[in-house]
Amino acid sequence: MWDGAPLDGATILLRAEQGFGDCLQFIRFAPPWWPSVAVTLLSACQEPLRRLLAGVAGVSETVSLDSPVPEFAQHAALASLPHILNMNPDTMAPPSAYVPQSENPWQLGAPAGARLKIGFAWSGNPTNKINRRRSCPIEHFAPLLARRDIAC
């Protein structure tokens, strides 16, 4: 398991260990936070996210959690990266796009004059036993969707 020590050109496997949302949130710590620029990053994630995460800058290869993985020297859970990399608000760069944009049938496009472009999640995995406690109807976002100063 990688502890943050210099990698000296090693291959490291970053693996998702929780849900889709956690995987999408923590993949942002892959690049550019690495102490070695010669590192090779592999990502193991849930199959439905594999194609999306294949476009993350700095990640050499993305495989499904259920598939065999290429050879690697070190590994870390995605959700552990902020701790391993000793991240805090003072050491983090300003937020930027880290997952490539994809075709989204609900993407409304930025209205003229929009200042903010936001994304939101209103539902978790419907097969999760507690999904009803962590999800809400999309209609709750109607006021947000009606604003002209943002793009959703």
- Closest to 80 in 3D by CA, of 16, 145, 6: 16
C-alpha span between 136 and 129 (Å, rounded): 15
Say yes or no to pLDDT of 106 above 60: no
Q: Long-range pairs for 59-65 at CB < 8 Å and ≥24 separation?
A: 59/14, 59/27, 59/30, 59/31, 65/15, 65/16
Say yes or no to pLDDT of 1 above 70: yes
Give the residue-averaged pLDDT of 125-149: 85
Say yes or no to pLDDT of 86 above 70: yes
Say yes or no to pLDDT of 93 above 80: no
pLDDT digits (tens, 9 = 90+) for 39-68: 788 899 999 999 888 888 888 899 999 999
Radius of gyration of the chain (CA): 18
